[in-house]
Structure 1
Amino acid sequence: MRIQLPLVGQSQYAPSILEKYRNSACGPTTVFVILRYLSLQEEHKSINELYQLLGCTPIGLFSYRLTRNLRNLLSPSYDVRKCSVDDALNEINEGRPVILKFDRYFSLHFFTKGDFDYHYVPMIGFEKKKDDLILIIHDNGSPYQDSQIREISYHKNRAILRFFKLIPLKHEGASMT
């Protein structure tokens, strides 16, 4: 069974993103495309603004800042929480993308060879295979390549993966103030 949400990606290296942010803008870019998909993204919130609002740094976005600051941004209509892979699959089944973080460094798996060392991406789907779970992500691009849909092995990357879900608390739309 394969499920893939029709999320439109965005490159973290787009000209609209400040050059000084681009190398570490994967977190805000991921949040931007997920909020846009969920119709929670107001026109005036750019990736540059989210970079500041989420507390991103030149070395990236720490998980606790992501959950705390995004929770504050979306309150009271949504909550943001770390979740298990099973929760992430349930979210996809419910039509909601998940924030996926590859983190070799702060997970203390320095020698694990994953698809990325430290990177946020939107998880937009999955496919259960006989011997693996394939996660479908929308990569945020590179300086030389636009954002693209990729398939990655859960088993190969599982030690360095962290999942975050946006939990709707009310059925009405959230506003970003």
Structure 2
Amino acid sequence: MIEERSEYRLEVEPYTQWEPGVASPGSACGPATMAALIEYWHTRRGCGRIPGSGHFDSKAEHINYIYSHHGGTPLGMSARSFAKGLQAYIGAALPRVERRHRPVSVSVFNDMGRYRAEIDAGRPVAVKFDKWFSLRWRGRYAYDYHWVLGIGYDLTDTGAGPALIVQDNGIRHKNGGFTPGRERHIPYLPNQPILTMVALNIE
């Protein structure tokens, strides 16, 4: 019998949508999340053919490329655009022959058990918070509208239920400065009504 983990996280390189050089930082959380997810598969999962941040002059350029070519808009990135953009980015990088041997799958869901299974399998999960288009305008959530990268979970009993461990893509300050992307623990159940999760698997 496999012992269940109470807390687990993956080592993921953080990205920051507010760092200098990001062309549209206010709406770049989706592209920043996608860039971090792609970088993980490039460096940690042995998918060297998929262009990571080393193929660009900076992380900002990587984010800008995704924003311009794979679904970024001034209003943000929908879950459908994120999934399609991710498939297009990887599809352009992997030759058709290689895709036959290493199938690429992108799935969309909202389920803590599935999320944990992805993390346990070594696969980060993109997580979108969206109270506007889910018509949950009056709720109090960790974010109103934001993409983050799920890198782990915490099942420690704190009275709030299971928590997502995420990289938050940074915070902008009123003085023009910013805090780089950092780890946050976010309760799943209070935020569940507005969440969408996007998982990537390259077999």
TM-score by length of structure 2 reads 0.77
Q: Does 1:165 align with 2:199?
A: yes
Please point out which of 57, 66, 71 is paired with 2:73. 57
- The equivalent residue for 1:46 is 62
Note if contact 2:123-2:201 (Cα within 8 Å) is conserved in structure 1: no
Gaps of 5+ in 2: 1-5, 43-49, 92-98, 173-177
Rounded Cα–Cα distance in structure 1 between residues aligned with 2:184 and 2:104: 28
SS at match of 1:66: helix
Identity, % of aligned pairs?
29
Structure showing greater radius of gyration is: 2
How far 1:46 moved relative to its partner? 1.0
- The equivalent residue for 2:116 is 89
Note if contact 2:70-2:88 (Cα within 8 Å) is conserved in structure 1: no
Rounded Cα–Cα distance in structure 1 between residues aligned with 2:51 and 2:21: 16
Note if contact 1:99-1:163 (Cα within 8 Å) is conserved in structure 2: yes
The 5 A counterparts of 1:1-177 are 1-18=6-23, 21-39=24-42, 40-42=50-52, 43-44=55-56, 46-75=62-91, 76=99, 77-85=103-111, 86-130=113-157, 131=159, 132-143=161-172, 144-168=178-202, 170=203
How far 1:107 moved relative to its partner? 1.1
- The equivalent residue for 2:3 is none
Give the partner amino acid of 1:141.
G
Gaps of 5+ in 1: 171-177
TM-score by length of structure 1 reads 0.88
Rounded Cα–Cα distance in structure 2 between residues aligned with 1:151 and 1:112: 19
How far 1:73 moved relative to its partner? 2.1
CA displacement 1:112-159 (0-9 Å, x = unmatched): 110100000000000113340011001101223221101011112111
Note if contact 2:35-2:63 (Cα within 8 Å) is conserved in structure 1: yes
| RCO higher in structure (CA 8 A, sep ≥6) | 1
Give the partner amino acid of 1:84.
N
Which ranges of 4 or more aligned residues in structure 1 deviate by more than 6 Å?
Answer: none
RMSD after superposition: 1.5
Rounded Cα–Cα distance in structure 1 between residues aligned with 2:104 and 2:68: 20
Note if contact 1:24-1:58 (Cα within 8 Å) is conserved in structure 2: yes
